């Protein structure tokens, strides 16, 4: 590890100390001769543009899953660690390597940066450990970059782009211009959305890429989009960037002029940041909403007080779900066996059906894709909302067998033709 990455990692570990008491209460580190401890490392964005959607909240969600599982399985010991990767590939990969090599971490969770996730996937295979990507979006993780030691939970660029792009083209939004974060996630989002726009009979008029994560002023890209004459501005970005784009597009009058905004990967904290006056009418695809049913509301009541009053996103919900399923798999095969062979733990997770209070029953496919329904939502107008965080109105449900890319189309080498 370089000195720079080492200093960054140490600072990041200090950032997590506020959450440490919960980890200790759930699963203290075992002494010599005691039962082995499952160690889960949340590699995430604590201080950058994705921090509200992921960050410390992802560690909170994993700890809640441990709390629930160990209540009924007191013989299982598990703990959570967290590092801020600062959206820098060197920091993220070195932190992951240190966890696997020196800290006896068994599972790396979250990783809301597709470029870092793709590198961690290779590392997990090299070390025969486990990586479960609940924060990364690139559909390549279960396509050309699929592997025996990682899974992709919750969502991906295919699922998000498919529902949103198809719906908007059907409503007359048949010409698109993209503003795209210039790294793996943005490229995958633009690619997948453009594919669905064209398949539905629309056309793509252009795209403007910007440096990530160093951009906050999107005026130049918005001017390009307006000049293109496109009916839809597609945002191939996320987090604070997507919020800034929507706000600045409103300042330039794009929505008033009739341009639709396709915020392909917008999450609830961004809607909260933007405000309903500017966000109303946005169409969003999601796999989890805190107010969708009794299970999601119960989880939100537990989660919100532990994470700065923010309601859980699908990434947080996915962290809970993925952690719970891993713990079930490890318990079924034996913790020592799961720790010794990450690929075997992944195989067991694929063999077992998934079932949890946030996503219901589902499965993990051969390519590593977790399967469950998705939902198309529309952001409410201010007059429709009952208060803070009551922002979505469901338009339709996308069944589990249609919500994600067909297994035969991903190009995963592990899938038998």
Contact in structure between 380 and 281 (CB atoms under 8 Å) = no
Residue 369 corresponds to which tokens in the numbers above? 């894709």
Q: Which architecture does CATH list for 158-289+373-407?
A: 3-Layer(aba) Sandwich (3.40)
DSSP letter string, 68-122: HHHHH-TT-EEEEEEEE-TT-HHHHHHHHHHHHHHS---EEEE---HHHHHHHHH
- On the question of pLDDT at 6 being above 60, the answer is no
Q: What is the pLDDT of residues 63-88, one digit of tens each?
A: 999 999 999 999 999 999 999 999 99
CB within 8 A of 242, min separation 6: which ones?
235, 263, 265, 266, 270
Mean pLDDT confidence for 314-318: 99
Q: Which residues pair with 393 in a beta bridge?
A: 378
Distances (CA, A) of 380 to 266, 269, 321, 374: 14, 14, 28, 19
Residue 393 corresponds to which tokens in the numbers above? 């109105």
Residue 103 corresponds to which tokens in the numbers above? 């800290």
Tokens 């997590």 belong to residue: 16
pLDDT at 416: 76
Note whether 3-155+293-372 and 158-289+373-407 share their fold.
Answer: yes
pLDDT at 32: 52
Distances (CA, A) of 119 to 15, 61, 108, 415: 24, 24, 12, 21
Mean pLDDT confidence for 409-414: 96
Distance CA 405, CA 397 (A): 16
Mean pLDDT confidence for 115-140: 98
Q: Which residues pair with 364 in a beta bridge?
A: 370
Sheet strand arrangement including 360-364:
354-356, 360-364, 370-371
Stated as kind and residue range, the H or E segment containing 262 is strand 260-263
Q: What is the pLDDT of residues 168-227, one digit of tens each?
A: 999 999 999 999 999 999 999 999 999 999 999 999 999 999 999 889 999 999 999 999
Q: What is the pTM of this model?
A: 0.90
CB within 8 A of 277, min separation 6: which ones?
382
Distance CA 228, CA 206 (A): 7
State the average pLDDT for the chain: 92
Residue 126, number of CB atoms within 10 A of its CB: 11
Stated as kind and residue range, the H or E segment containing 2 is none
- On the question of pLDDT at 18 being above 70, the answer is no
Mean pLDDT confidence for 253-282: 95
Contact in structure between 78 and 41 (CB atoms under 8 Å) = no
Distance CA 414, CA 148 (A): 8
**145-179: string of b/e by CB count within 10 Å (b at 16+)?**
bbbebbbbbbbbbbbbbbbbbbbbbeeebbbbbbb
pLDDT at 135: 98
Distance CA 169, CA 175 (A): 8
Mean pLDDT confidence for 253-277: 95
**Of the options 3.30.930.10, 3.40.30.10, 2.60.120.10, 3.40.50.2300, the CATH number for the domain spanning 3-155+293-372:** 3.40.50.2300
Phi, psi dihedral angles at 109 (to 5 degrees): -120, 150
Q: How confident is the model at residue 2 (pLDDT cuts 50, 70, 90)?
A: very low
> What is the signed CA dihedral for 230, 233, 236, 237, rounded to 10 degrees?
150
- On the question of pLDDT at 20 being above 70, the answer is no
- On the question of pLDDT at 343 being above 80, the answer is yes
- On the question of pLDDT at 9 being above 50, the answer is no
pLDDT at 417: 57
Distance CA 387, CA 112 (A): 29
Residue 134 corresponds to which tokens in the numbers above? 């609940």
More confident residue, 150 or 13: 150
Q: What residue ranges do the domains of the chain occupy?
A: 3-155+293-372, 158-289+373-407
pLDDT at 35: 85
Q: What is the pLDDT of residues 132-169, one digit of tens each?
A: 999 999 999 999 999 999 999 999 999 999 999 999 99
Helix, strand, coil in percent for the chain, rounding step 5? 45, 20, 35
Question: How many angstroms separate the most distant Cα atoms in the chain?
Answer: 69
pLDDT at 34: 72
């Amino acid at each position: 590890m370089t000195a720079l990455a080492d200093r960054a990692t140490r600072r990041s570990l200090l950032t997590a100390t506020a959450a440490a008491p919960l980890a200790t209460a759930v699963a203290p580190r075992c002494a010599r001769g005691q039962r082995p401890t499952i160690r889960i490392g949340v590699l995430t964005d604590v201080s950058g543009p994705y921090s509200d959607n992921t960050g410390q909240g992802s560690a909170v969600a994993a700890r809640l899953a441990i709390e629930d599982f160990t209540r009924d399985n007191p013989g299982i010991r598990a703990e959570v660690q967290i590092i801020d990767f600062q959206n820098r590939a060197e920091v993220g990969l070195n932190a992951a390597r240190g966890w696997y090599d020196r800290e006896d971490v068994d599972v790396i969770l979250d990783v809301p940066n597709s470029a870092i996730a793709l590198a961690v996937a290779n590392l997990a295979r090299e070390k025969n450990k486990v990586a479960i990507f609940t924060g990364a979006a690139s559909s390549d993780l279960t396509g050309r970059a699929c592997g025996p030691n990682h899974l992709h939970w919750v969502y991906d660029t295919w699922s998000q782009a498919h529902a949103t792009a198809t719906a908007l083209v059907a409503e007359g939004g048949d010409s698109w211009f993209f503003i795209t974060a210039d790294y793996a996630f943005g490229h995958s989002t633009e690619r997948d959305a453009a594919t669905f726009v064209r398949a539905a009979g629309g056309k793509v008029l252009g795209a403007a890429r910007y440096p990530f994560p160093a951009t906050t002023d999107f005026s130049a890209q918005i001017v390009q989009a307006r000049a293109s004459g496109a009916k839809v501005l597609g945002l191939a970005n996320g987090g604070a960037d997507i919020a800034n784009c929507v706000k600045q597009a409103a300042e330039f009058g794009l929505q008033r002029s009739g341009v639709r905004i396709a915020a392909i990967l917008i999450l609830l904290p961004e809607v909260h940041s933007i405000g309903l006056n500017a966000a109303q009418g946005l169409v969003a695809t999601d796999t989890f909403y805190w107010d969708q049913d009794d299970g999601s509301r119960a989880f939100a009541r537990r989660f919100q007080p532990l994470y700065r009053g923010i309601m859980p996103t699908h990434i947080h919900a996915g962290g809970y779900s993925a952690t719970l399923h891993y713990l079930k798999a490890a318990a079924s095969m034996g913790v020592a066996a799961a720790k010794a062979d990450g690929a075997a733990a992944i195989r067991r997770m694929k063999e077992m059906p998934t079932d949890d209070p946030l996503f219901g029953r589902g499965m993990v496919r051969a390519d590593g894709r977790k399967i469950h329904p998705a939902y198309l939502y529309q952001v409410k107008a201010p007059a429709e909302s009952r208060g803070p965080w009551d922002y979505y109105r469901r338009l339709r449900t996308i069944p589990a067998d249609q919500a994600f890319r067909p297994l035969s189309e991903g190009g995963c080498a592990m899938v038998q033709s």
